Amino acid sequence: METHIYQPSDVKLAAEDIKRGDLVAFPTETVYGLGADATNEAAVKKVYAAKGRPSDNPLIVHVSGIEAVEKYAEPLSEDAKKLIKTFWPGPLTIIFKLKPNALSKAVTGGLDTAAFRNPKNQVMIDLIKTAGVPLVGPSANTSGKPSPTTAEHVYHDLKGKIAGILDDGPTEIGVESTVLDMSTDTPAILRPGGVTAEQIRAVIGTVDDGKHSVSGNEAPKAPGMKYKHYAPSAQVYIVDHDADWQQASQWVAAQPNKVGIMTTDAILNHIDWPANAEPFSLGADVASASHLLFKGLRHFDDEPDVKAILTEGFSASGLGEAYMNRLNKSAGQMHFEIKK
């Protein structure tokens, strides 16, 4: 299959692909998603095949407003409506119980719930409205690999497997949306993201922020809950924010292969790195690091000589919670330690 690169002015062409039951990658403010008609079961199954994604991993349904949610979900609570009014369009995905047989089990991963999001990207909204249907949209990458933040990342993973990529340049946030489960008695954050737990509590009060992962045999209720995810081929190691980076530099010098270094500029520019260190800047702070994390992991995935990647950790609060969630899963919880 030839994969077309569409510009924002080509939304009608991308929408025609969707209507035919084909797949089109689309931009959002978080990462690029892989779009298919959420009401077309055959098209949805193509998403799993293109990504190599387990079919028990549910998909997010992207909509252009609350009306589409009300069409498929059971009546929304007042708290749910408050969240939608406050955070949509934006990087908050909300899980609701569905009306009977409202959406295919291929969308829900066999569950009686579905995750909905109204993205804050006008090109994406135009695509939904022009296609006339809600779109499923997992990240547009090979399953388990770092999520794509540019159209080039998508093309690298999925060329020849999908009909098109709607290119709107680099994404703004760089990590996926927060996923909030509103189908339980106590709302629960299943995946941290661009909307923080503190912001959600300010709107609806009590929120459970304690479960972001599932075991290998447990079916996830939301994307990104697998223990190891977002992982490049090289082993990622988390270097804690209070670690001795000069010691880390000495460890790198003793390695037989190249080592990727992903840190903020304050560290990157003030350490004597050995010749086998390959640096990648995460910018100035946790906000820029969140924006650049997947880009850096993908950069080193294209460097076969890099066998390990040392990546700076941050305090897991605010946006740092989303950053550390993705970094921990890309590293499989592995932290860098100097054995004495």
pTM of the model: 0.91
Digit-coded pLDDT (tens) for 94-114: 999 999 999 999 999 899 999
Q: Find the mean pLDDT for residues 228-254.
A: 89
Where exactly are the structural domains of the chain?
4-204, 235-331
Q: Find the mean pLDDT for residues 54-61.
A: 84
Q: Tokens 């609701």 label which residue?
A: 96
Pairing, β 135-136 against β 60-62: antiparallel
Q: What share of the chain is helix, strand, coil (3-state, %, to 5)?
A: 35, 20, 45
pLDDT band at 272 (very low <50, low <70, confident <90, very high): very high
Residue 296 pLDDT greater than 80, yes or no:
yes
Of 336 and 230, the structure prediction assigns the larger pLDDT to 336
Q: Find the mean pLDDT for residues 33-37.
A: 97
Say what the pLDDT of residue 67 is.
Answer: 96
Residue 164 pLDDT greater than 60, yes or no:
yes
Q: Find the mean pLDDT for residues 115-127.
A: 97
Q: Tokens 């340049």 label which residue?
A: 169
H helices of the chain, in order, are 11-19, 41-51, 66-72, 78-87, 105-108, 122-131, 151-158, 197-204, 245-253, 265-268, 286-301, 319-331
Query: What percentage of residues in the chain have a pLDDT greater than 90?
Result: 85
Q: Residue 274: which of 257, 299, 296, 297 has the closest Cα?
A: 257
Say what the pLDDT of residue 339 is.
Answer: 61
In sequence order, the β-bridge partners of residue 181 are 95, 188
Q: Find the mean pLDDT for residues 5-29.
A: 98
Indicate if 235-331 has the same CATH topology as 4-204: no
Contact 108, 58 (CB under 8 A): yes
CATH 2.60.40.10 assigned to domain 4-204? The reply is: no
Give whole-number Cα distances, 52 to 56, 57, 128, 176, in Å. 12, 11, 24, 19
Q: Find the mean pLDDT for residues 238-253.
A: 92
CATH 3.40.50.11030 assigned to domain 235-331? The reply is: yes
